[in-house]
Amino acid sequence: MDLQVVEQVARLDEWVAEGGVAVLSGAGLSTDSGIPDYRGPSGSARRGSPMTYQSFTGDPLARRRYWARSHLGWRTIGDARPNAGHRAVARLQEQGLLAGVITQNVDGLHQEAGARDVIELHGNLARIVCLGCGDLTGRAELEERLTAANPGFAAVATSVNPDGDVELDETEEAGFTVVDCRSCGGMLKPDVVYFGETVPPDRVSRAFATVAGARSLLVLGSSLTVMSGRRFVLRAVRDGIRVAIVNRGVSRGEPYADLMIDAPLGVVLPNLGASVVDSPVTVLRSK
């Protein structure tokens, strides 16, 4: 790290040591786990039109296209393991320094690293929900069924998005067989929020409450391009809560940040909280 970044990390470490830090994480936190982000150094903005809830539920061809691509993408998402950044967040929580963890990611790596009570704004790809009966099942079971239903499917993904979608030639999607709910025969969908859906209000309320009860908001690996994450930064600024952003490249949150660090998360995060020993801190800030 250059001198400026070292000084910035030292300042952030002082904030973290005070406790009461609300973490908001984005796709950039998972790049070191092999999951490319959308706009940072490891990825690019999604090409083409995103899958919408309306298309998924109303167009059988769009649904087949989604499942063919997601079936391939899950090989990357499902095999990913937490990196040093995820482990650092879990350690900070264990030390009593965090007010909570909010993530825009759907990969479940925070929890796998040991973080608790993570607010998953956009859901989790490892869960499958039936739109008919509401039954929740694990992704592993669905992958076994899709593999059995498509024994000749040998397509290779050329790129993977953080939501598990991939780039795939349309000719390779033809003939892919979609499976339905074993309980009621209803339509299966990943338990994630699609474009055209809204994040459940109770989930949003919990996230806002986490930010409101924090002393600092720490944004990790998010360009904050969409309002889904940026709204929490705006709320923090409105309430006089300090905002720190650690991200590779530009962030739309920079004009609102008290501290902006452009550096690898896997380098910055393990250096935070190291001076805190055995004595938990109070995570509620005084207004």
Largest CA distance in the chain: 61
Q: Annotated binding residue at 42? A: yes
Q: Annotated binding residue at 69? A: no
Helix then strand then coil, % of the chain, to nearest 5: 40, 15, 45
As to burial, measured by CB atoms within 10 angstroms (0-12 exposed, 13-18 middle, 19+ buried), residue 151 is exposed
Number of Cβ within 10 Å of residue 191's Cβ equals 18
The rounded distance, in Å, linking the Cα atoms of 270 and 71 is 33
Q: Annotated binding residue at 286? A: no
Q: Annotated binding residue at 29? A: yes
Cβ distance 28 to 107 under 8 Å?
A: no
Q: Annotated binding residue at 159? A: no
Q: Annotated binding residue at 41? A: yes
Q: Annotated binding residue at 224? A: no
Cβ distance 282 to 19 under 8 Å?
A: yes
Residue type, 182: R
Q: Annotated binding residue at 265? A: yes
List, as own/partner pairs, every contact residues 116-120 make where C-beta atoms lie below 8 angstroms and the sequence separation is at least 24, other chains included: 119/203, 119/206, 119/207, 119/210, 120/203
In terms of Cα–Cα distance, which of 187, 152, 158, 188 is closest to 170? Answer: 158
Annotated catalytic sites, by residue? Answer: 122
Q: Annotated binding residue at 55? A: no
Q: Hey, CA dihedral for 93, 96, 98, 101, is it positive or negative?
A: positive
Q: Annotated binding residue at 45? A: yes
Q: Annotated binding residue at 104? A: yes
Q: Annotated binding residue at 31? A: yes
Q: Annotated binding residue at 249? A: yes
Q: Which DSSP symbol is given to 218?
A: E
Residue ranges at the known binding site for Zn(2+): 130, 133, 181, 184
Residue ranges at the known binding site for NAD(+): 26-46, 104-107, 221-223, 247-249, 265
Residue ranges at the known binding site: 26-46, 104-107, 130, 133, 181, 184, 221-223, 247-249, 265
